[in-house]
Amino acid sequence: MLRIARPMLLAVLLLAAALPAAAQEQRAFSQAELDQMLAPVALYPDPLLSQILMAATYPLEVVEAARWSKANPGLQGDAAVKAAAGQGWDPSVTSLVAFPQVLAWMDENLQWTRAVGDAFLAQQPQVMDTVQGLRARAQQAGNLRSDGQVAVTRDGPTIVVVPADPQVVYVPYYDPYVVYGTWWWPAYPPYYWRPWRGYVARPGAVVAWTPGVRVTAGFFFGGFDWRRREARVVRRTVIVNRVPGAWQHDPGHRRAITYRDPVVQRRYAAPAPRAYAPPPAVQQERRDEFREERRVEERRGDERRNRRLEDQREHRGEPSRTPGGFTPGRGGFSPGPGGFSPGPGGMQPLQRERHEPGARVDGWRQSARAEVRPRAEAHRDIEARPAPRVERAQRAAPPPAEAARRRHGEHHPA
């Protein structure tokens, strides 16, 4: 019984240790948190809201775009988007420079921006359901209806909000505590956006509007498929050259910002860098350059060896036999196999015979052995002969008595 209980106890302990990790991986925003963060933007027109949610997944680029917009205060609408097209941001971020107020608020509230982006990546269907739930509450409170700024339509349970004029976009501003009726999450109060300059509100209305921002027809590339509960690319535009379909997050624009959800982190983890393979033409060019460098080095090696052999011959007093040496001819200098031969028009290069590296080295070894062999024979001859210098020195030496008298300055001529 004890043998059975021990494995069971071990399994229970392992399961208990794995539960916190699994709960951490499945960590998600609660419905209260989603209502809290989406309340300031849920009533925005669908095209603008879709691109705000996309851009929120790239918080660093939002900061850069907001700084750029502040540095160019006179630009908005299409003019701002065209001017910022070369900044290299994601198209969703670039499109928001048309609405400087929205971009400025996202920059001032980076915690909100990153939270919305993380929720949109990890819980996109729930985010879209939350938007519909907030719109339903605003409509029940009588604060969401068609007017000169937006057109509000209902398709079953889905509430669609689009600009009344596709070429003029108005951004709404409202107090979430008022527009949705009594707030239902006391522990999670909604985010509140500070009011911006230039808003216009009708007497008694709870929703105010910015001045209209003019854009070209088809300016927005984003939209919602409420039935599938997903954001989509609905058309190609000046800043987007993508095939219409489900929107795909580009982790390259995330700029190394980690994802809140571990599952999303693994999904968009940076792939291992692939080895760069240059085009075939570039590879061939590099091979040719390498071969040419080897030929140059081999020629230099041949020249050094020839100079060394020439120095050895000169030291032994032998005539020069350097293959590349110059001998005077009729027109000046006549080279050997590796030099220049003068012609009627001056110096003309000769084609040098090419050899394989192995053959060239073998040839040099044979010539070196040929140089060493005569020297060895000469040494044998010297060793066989008597030392003539020593014998002559001994015969020329005076007798000891004569040498002693010479040392003492005595000299007796013979």
How would you write 354-399 as a 3-class SS string?
A: CCCHHHHHHHHHHHHHHHHHHHHHHHHHHHHCCCHHHHHHHHHCCC
Distance CA 298, CA 379 (A): 34
**Cβ contact 229:237 at 8 Å:** no
Q: What percent of the chain has pLDDT over 90?
A: 36
Pairing of strands 230-233, 340-343: unpaired
Taking the mean position of all CA atoms in its chain, how far away is CA 28?
32
pLDDT digits (tens, 9 = 90+) for 8-45: 444 434 334 433 444 345 578 999 999 999 999 999 99
Residue with tokens 């398709």: 155
**Cβ contact 141:56 at 8 Å:** no
**Cβ contact 84:68 at 8 Å:** yes
Burial profile 93-119: b = 16 or more Cβ within 10 angstroms, e = fewer = bbbbbbbbbbbbbbbebeebbbbbbbb
Pairing of strands 207-209, 213-214: unpaired
Distance CA 257, CA 191 (A): 23
| Average of per-residue pLDDT across 183-195 | 90
Task: Determine the pLDDT at residue 276.
Answer: 55
Query: Hey, what are 265's tokens?
Result: 């982190």
Cα-based distances in Å from 277 to 271, 280, 282, 292: 17, 9, 10, 22
Kindly tell me if the per-residue pLDDT of 85 is higher than 70.
yes
Range name among 21-25, 77-81, 224-228, 381-385 with the lowest pLDDT average: 21-25
Task: Determine the pLDDT at residue 280.
Answer: 81
**Cβ contact 112:62 at 8 Å:** no
Q: Count CB neighbours of 232 within 10 A.
A: 16
Pairing of strands 207-209, 333-334: unpaired
Kindly tell me if the per-residue pLDDT of 279 is higher than 90.
no
Return the amino acid letter for 366: Q
Please tell me whether residue 247 adopts helix, strand or coil conformation: coil
Kindly tell me if the per-residue pLDDT of 339 is higher than 60.
no
pLDDT tier at 271 (50, 70, 90 boundaries)? low
Taking the mean position of all CA atoms in its chain, how far away is CA 273?
9
Cα–Cα nearest to 144, from 133, 132, 152, 155: 152
Please tell me whether residue 87 adopts helix, strand or coil conformation: helix
Distance CA 171, CA 41 (A): 10
Query: Hey, what are 29's tokens?
Result: 């925003």
pLDDT tier at 239 (50, 70, 90 boundaries)? low
Distance CA 309, CA 321 (A): 9
- Sequence-distant contacts of 195-202: CB under 8 A, at least 24 apart: 196/101, 196/105, 199/173
**Cβ contact 365:309 at 8 Å:** no
Return the amino acid letter for 245: G
Query: Hey, what are 318's tokens?
Result: 């032998």
Q: What is the dihedral of CA 213, 214, 220, 226, to 10 degrees?
A: 60
Kindly tell me if the per-residue pLDDT of 370 is higher than 90.
no
Distance CA 178, CA 176 (A): 5
Distance CA 310, CA 314 (A): 6
User: What is the CA angle 146-152-157, rounded to 5?
Assistant: 140
Taking the mean position of all CA atoms in its chain, how far away is CA 17?
39
Say if pTM beats, i.e. exceeds, 0.85.
Answer: no
| Average of per-residue pLDDT across 254-283 | 77
